[in-house]
Amino acid sequence: MKTVTLPSGEKIPALGQGTWFMGEDSGRRKEEIATLRRGVDIGLGLIDTAEMYGDGRSEELVGEAIVGRRNDVFLVSKVYPHNASREGVLAACERSLRRLKTDRIDLYLLHWRGGVPFSETVSGFETLQRAGKIRYWGVSNLDLGDMLELAAVPGGGQVATNQLLYNLTRRGIEFDLLPWCEKHRLPVMAYSPIEQARLLRHAGLMHLAAELGQTPSQLSLAWVLRRDGVVAIPKTSNSRHLEDNVRAVETTVTPQIEAELDKLFPPPKRPVPLEML
């Protein structure tokens, strides 16, 4: 499995598994668990969840999926902004740990910026780190200005990732935020990397992928993974889709293919306010 290096030097899988909307339909539970387990078995050991997803049901499902294989998984979860006060973050983490049936979260993210000052949230994260309840902390949906503010608070420089909306149709971060993260060796975790499947119906992408003997999902994920510091976390509950997505890791996006994709999905020419889903 291709890897991405955290600021600590630890390597994590470049292709992981998202879990938004998992755990919400009891009829799909078995398939969702089986797909997550299969994903871990074939190297997609990074699993992304959040206390928000299904009001904790996604975390519960992940907890069930990783029983007996916790050490093979790099577990990412997220705290709601309204729970991100110094004390709130401790309580939210305890609840997540209970649902995940584990004693630690590998990477704990502030889901988006809310009203709590960064200094408080960072202080809560540091307490959790000292207690061994989380190994690293990071953020999500923070634009460049927010990152600069975060970097200026005590301990803010210890941020381990920024999880962002990034795919062929959402390239705004390439203008300034992504280069800034790369310069600071801060990995970016690309969420909705196939635009919640909408990208797969793009006629131009379908045509180019067919010409290359690839699937649209394989090509669009390989494109996200072409940059060294970027992790992609597609969500699938379908084992056929999983096998399709994992092929992205072996797929090379040559400069010619990249140029074709730039024609279909032009890169930004000026700053674009951060988009989120």
List the catalytic residues.
53
What does the buried/exposed string (b/e) look like for 224-233 if buried means 16 or more CB atoms within 10 Å of the residue's CB?
bbebebbbbb
Kindly report the three-state secondary structure assignment for every residue of 139-197.
Answer: EECCCHHHHHHHHHCCCHHHCCCEEEECECCECHHHCCHHHHHHHCCCCEEEECCCHHH
Near ligand NAP in 213-232, by CB under 6 A: 217
Q: How far is the CB of 77 from ligand NAP (least distance, A)?
A: 10
The letter for the amino acid at 40 is: V
Query: If binding is defined by CB under 6 A, does position 74 make contact with ligand NAP?
Result: no
Q: How far is the CB of 234 from ligand NAP (least distance, A)?
A: 4
Query: If binding is defined by CB under 6 A, does position 163 make contact with ligand NAP?
Result: yes
The residue length of the chain stands at 277
The answer for residues whose C-beta is within 8 angstroms of residue 171's C-beta and 6 or more apart is: 265, 266, 267, 268
Query: If binding is defined by CB under 6 A, does position 195 make contact with ligand NAP?
Result: yes
Near ligand NAP in 14-53, by CB under 6 A: 18-20, 48
Tell me the window of 90-98, 125-133, 191-199, 204-212 that interacts with ligand NAP (CB under 6 A): 191-199
- The Cα 171–Cα 19 span in angstroms is 23
Query: If binding is defined by CB under 6 A, does position 152 make contact with ligand NAP?
Result: no
Query: If binding is defined by CB under 6 A, does position 121 make contact with ligand NAP?
Result: no
Query: If binding is defined by CB under 6 A, does position 244 make contact with ligand NAP?
Result: yes
Q: Are strands 3-5 and 11-13 parallel, antiparallel or unpaired?
A: antiparallel
Q: How far is the CB of 130 from ligand NAP (least distance, A)?
A: 25
Query: If binding is defined by CB under 6 A, does position 238 make contact with ligand NAP?
Result: yes
- The Cα 3–Cα 123 span in angstroms is 29
Residue showing the smallest CB distance to ligand NAP in the complex = 18
Q: Which residue has the tokens 């050490």?
A: 71
Minimum CB distance to ligand NAP smaller for 48 or for 260: 48
Q: How far is CA 20 from CA 29, 238, 260, in A?
A: 13, 14, 31
Options 106, 241, 257, 274; binder of ligand NAP; rule CB under 6 A? 241
Query: If binding is defined by CB under 6 A, does position 234 make contact with ligand NAP?
Result: yes
Query: If binding is defined by CB under 6 A, does position 191 make contact with ligand NAP?
Result: yes
Minimum CB distance to ligand NAP smaller for 54 or for 256: 54
What does the buried/exposed string (b/e) look like for 83-101 if buried means 16 or more CB atoms within 10 Å of the residue's CB?
bbbbebbbebbeebbebbe
**Residues that bind ligand NAP in the complex, under the rule CB under 6 A:** 18-20, 48, 111, 140-141, 163, 191-197, 200, 217, 233-238, 241, 244-245, 276-277
